[in-house]
Amino acid sequence: MKILLMGNPNVGKSAIFNRLTGAKVIESNYPGTTVDYTRGYMRLDDEDVEVIDVPGTFSLEPKDVAEEVAVKILKENRDSVVVCIIDSTKLERGLYLALEIIEEGYPVVIALNMWDIAKEKSVWIDAKKLERVLGVPVVPTIAVSGEGIRELVSRIKEASPVDIERIVRNLEG
């Protein structure tokens, strides 16, 4: 099993990566491109699990090389759990990518990052309700202070693939 950190650019993905992985971080170049991505290891239930900080992307229909690499990394690691990092102030944009990944059949955990900034802007997201609707764990986080990171990790094992039709039904029901 691997853990892929995915999300739009500038959602604090690297900050979460730094909170999750140890000091030994491996910088790699994706073969045939100029795109770099980082890998590291984290401790999950007494096991070392590889974590990949996937380049930021807005969707799975790539618009540039970095996005292309992101999609390739996702496709190459079918047995991964995807931690989808969403900027809480830009929920819709982040959800778009999250839904696409869910549709691909990956188990997903959602981190509502930059929760403090959302608060500052008087945006409040009902994380519990979002969790019920999507059927995947949703955890508010603040990467700069570390709030919520531990909970995020503890809920990785709850992630399982969700059928998109169920989400549609959840919304209506």
Q: Which residues bind another protein (CB under 8 A)?
A: 18-24, 41-43, 48, 91-92, 95-96, 99-100, 103, 112, 115-116, 119-120, 122-131, 133-134, 138-142, 144-151, 153-154, 163-165, 167-168, 171
CB of 72 to another protein, least distance (A): 19
**Nearest CA-CA partner of 108 in 12, 4, 15:** 4
Nearer to another protein, 37 or 115 (CB): 115
Computed on alpha carbons and rounded to an integer, the radius of gyration of the chain in Å comes to 15
Q: How far is the CB of 104 from another protein (least distance, A)?
A: 8
Q: Residue 90 CA to chain centroid, in angstroms?
A: 14
Q: How far is the CB of 51 from another protein (least distance, A)?
A: 10
State both tokens at 125.
């997201």
Residue number with CB closer to another protein (68 or 147): 147
Sequential DSSP letters for 24-67: --EEEEPTTSS-EEEEEEEEETTEEEEEEEPPP-S-SS-SSHHH
* Residue number with CB closer to another protein (1 or 124): 124
